[in-house]
Amino acid sequence: MTPGLESLQHGAGIIDLSTRGRIRVSGDDRARLLHALATNHVQQMRPGEGIYTFFLNAQGRILGDAYLLCFDDHFLIDTEPGLKQALMDHIDHYIISEDVLLEDITENTFALGLEGPRATDVAGRAGLAAPHHRFSHARSGDFILAVIPATGPHGFRLYGPAREKQQAISTLEAAGAILASDADAERNRLDNFVPKCGPDINEHTLPQETQQMHAVHFQKGCYLGQEIVERIRSRGHVNRLLMGFRYDAATAPAPGTKMQLEGNPAGEVTSAALIGKTVCGLAYVRVPGARSGAMAEIEGHAVELFAPRM
């Protein structure tokens, strides 16, 4: 296990998330417009709060996911690097007479993940005010610290001006954190069942298939794609679910590798990585085989399935 992965799992690790897209949404109609496009409840948000949400097309398929943070005079959308422009274009398409302004602030800001069971201690030693509620955020000088773990159950996201990124890293390292690589972050997210838009979630995916239901508010009222989401809920199921899997092997399977259950086609790998001698990954698995503890097969290896922890 690398020092970076060790820090993410047992200490406090730093992940550079600055390539992720950051969009500032301002204007008097910002909450009403985002509420009509997002799967989660935007209009009930108060400054200092945040949510995780999907943006759907009219067919209920996922165009992208995002963390949405509420401030006094704007929202911050934090999304995958490859989704930034598509989400901006999607939101802009629905701005007709509304007072809403979209601003790409990615290049002017940085984002760092501070993750692991010692993340709170490190944040305190670094002089950062750490909020306690999921997706909530607080300002510390020029920085904003939000409860948004990127790869596991424990962690924060630190935002600030791009010119202060290296100083922020140095401060966190001085407080006891260790810089983790992108490969370390990938391994940790798969071990903790954290799906990513692109490999695991795309324009063919329905919200319920992801098992990330904290992104959906079922009592919020109308939004784009809601009819399909509600129809699935009323019928009670989808045909496949995103599941985690683990098994011992020397190499990880490529995305698209087929999974079998009792000799029959059962699913397809979306992401996988090798952690020591254990392969950990995510795959869409056909219902009813998609359940924790079920055994499947990938490339001749016996595979145990697991569901998300939250």
Count CB atoms within 10 A of the CB of residue 247. 19
pLDDT of 101 > 90? The answer is: yes
Max distance between CA atoms of the chain, in angstroms, equals 59
Instruction: Give 262's pLDDT tier (boundaries 50, 70, 90).
Output: confident
Q: Where are the alpha helices (DSSP H) in 105-213?
A: 119-125, 165-174, 182-191, 207-210
pLDDT of 116 > 70? The answer is: yes
pLDDT of 235 > 90? The answer is: no
What structural domains and CATH numbers belong to the chain?
A: 3-189 (3.30.1360.120), 239-310 (2.40.30.110)
9-46: pLDDT as tens digits:
999 999 999 999 999 999 999 999 999 999 999 999 99
Instruction: Give 310's pLDDT tier (boundaries 50, 70, 90).
Output: low
Average predicted confidence (pLDDT) for the chain? 96
pLDDT of 237 > 90? The answer is: no
pLDDT at 309: 77
Among residues 304, 274, 281, the alpha carbon closest in space to that of 2 is found at 274
277-295: pLDDT as tens digits:
999 999 999 998 999 999 9
Region 101-130: what's the mean pLDDT?
96
Region 60-81: what's the mean pLDDT?
98
Residues 191 and 4: their CA atoms lie apart, in Å, by 14
pTM: 0.95
Among residues 34, 79, 39, the alpha carbon closest in space to that of 56 is found at 39
Cα distances (Å, whole numbers) of residue 32 to 39, 258, 297: 13, 43, 47
Region 90-101: what's the mean pLDDT?
97
Region 212-233: what's the mean pLDDT?
95
Decide if 292 contacts 245 (C-beta within 8 A): no
198-213: pLDDT as tens digits:
999 999 999 999 999 9
144-170: pLDDT as tens digits:
999 999 999 999 999 999 999 999 999
